[in-house]
Structure 1
Amino acid sequence: MGDTIIGIIGGSGVYEIDGLEDAEWQVVDTPWGPPSDALLTGRLGGMRVVFLPRHGRGHVHSPSDVPYRANIDALKRLGVTDLVSVSACGSFREEMAPGDFVLVDQFIDRTVARPKSFFASGCVAHVSLAHPTCDRLRGAVTRAAEAAGVTLHARGTYLAMEGPQFSTLAESEMYRGHWGADVIGMTNMPEARLAREAELCYAPIAMVTDYDCWHEAHGAVDVAEVIRVLTANASAAKALVKALPGALGARETPCPAGCDRALEHAIMTAPTMRDAALVEKLDAVAGRVL
């Protein structure tokens, strides 16, 4: 096995990592365009780490405009093997309170305006998303959260909405009741799909900032209050990230969940029929099988 390299995608409020040794911002070119920002590389706890602010420093990208394909491609090009995604979210559950973290294990995708795959006509592939997150990496995040003193809910279903507006009350009630979602956000899809296509182990951490608009005692989302909770969450997220290398350790065997082999039997297009230009664009993401 090669070296374990941790990738961190920082969401709202998390635009840098503290304590990185040999820290350096690197500009990475991808065939899918520029990523959200330069990528911060360095070492943390003796392990190589690559950090990317999802919205860019200064929060310049809206959820619908985040260059998701370029982001995942850039992380893959820098050798990332294990990707932890941090994002803000609203909660549909009383017990998942503002300030808590939720270790998401399932998704409902309601986004409609974003490219969802690296693959297309000329090189068709279908990966499994039945279990879209990596249990091994989720276990490491759980241990890191314990070490950092972070309140972490072990499982949760994340509903990804297009945004940028927040939910209507009718939507909020439908998502939490009939659909059984636990948290709601705007950025984890298609990120999770693309991470699977890139054969990355992926674990998303949703940082609760509010109760969406269903909670009678809290009313509609208050942006000022969200920002206040975001600030507190960012400090907790950085403490969790600092503890992650020690909790994860080096991987000595292939991923038990098969994340690093997701493309093994996924590509359907015959070699002689593949579009050469698309195959070239897939060099980092799918080069192992192409």
Structure 2
Amino acid sequence: MLKLPKSTCLGLGAALGLAFLFAGCAKKETQLHATIDTSMGQIVVRLLDKDAPKTVENFIGLADGTRLLDEGEDPANAKPFYDGLTFHRVIPDFMIQGGDPAGNGSGGPGYTFEDETYTEGEPLTGKIGDEARAEYVFEQWVVPHLREHRGQSPVEFIANLFGEMQQAQGFDPMYDVTVEEVAAALGKEEPLEGRGELINSVDYGTLCMANAGPNTNGSQFFIVTKEGGTPWLNGKHTVFGVVLSGMDVAEAISQVPTQGPDMPVEPVVINSIRVNEVKVKVEKTTDEPSEA
């Protein structure tokens, strides 16, 4: 028998009436939707702010221009970053890429930030030992260091290790090295968190960050137009949205005539990107346990 709290101020009939009323209603939740208005039509994307909060925050801040304001500057001075940029790289049955102020794939907002591809794992310690761990340590710590120094490390330990890896054409020289040795050589004080679970896969219709390697996100993004997605990119690019409508527009953009490095002959312009909060109905599950 259904038991009602003694403190309820509703009569049994009223309570049952309300229960019946709400049982037939769908729940509502607030979502962030981005409308990408292009010279070929509109693409509407749901932003995955719970899965990739930093990436979504950056995208919104660039879209409305507030991300590039100086501290304390009047928001009225904000200039939407993406307005007037283009989809500079399009490949049929693969993806369309945009958001570069340089228009050729080399530009960005003037800063970079980290990936949001895996949940946090346990800190890595001890001997590196195998290829998977070696590749991870190399990508997360060594690559940014080498990029900063244009491939020529001033740190003897790292320079020698990288030279051995080049000779071996693989990660084998890292197997007997410890994570602590690499950390000490690079002056890392915080532990390196291992990979947890993959947050989202790079599927058909997903909105993802483009990058130049691990943790080099800026302003460039791409939408996947390949049926079945691109599993070889899983974990390498942050997935921060999914297309709700306008995939026909994205696919049409991917098919335009190109020249040079997959650049459209006629520019495909991003007129604007605007983000809004939208309340949407979510289907209520019918298999919730009931109390007898």
The two structures have a TM-score, normalised by structure 1, of: 0.21
Q: Which has the higher contact order (CA 8 A, sep 6+)?
A: 2
Report the TM-score, using the length of structure 2 for normalisation: 0.21
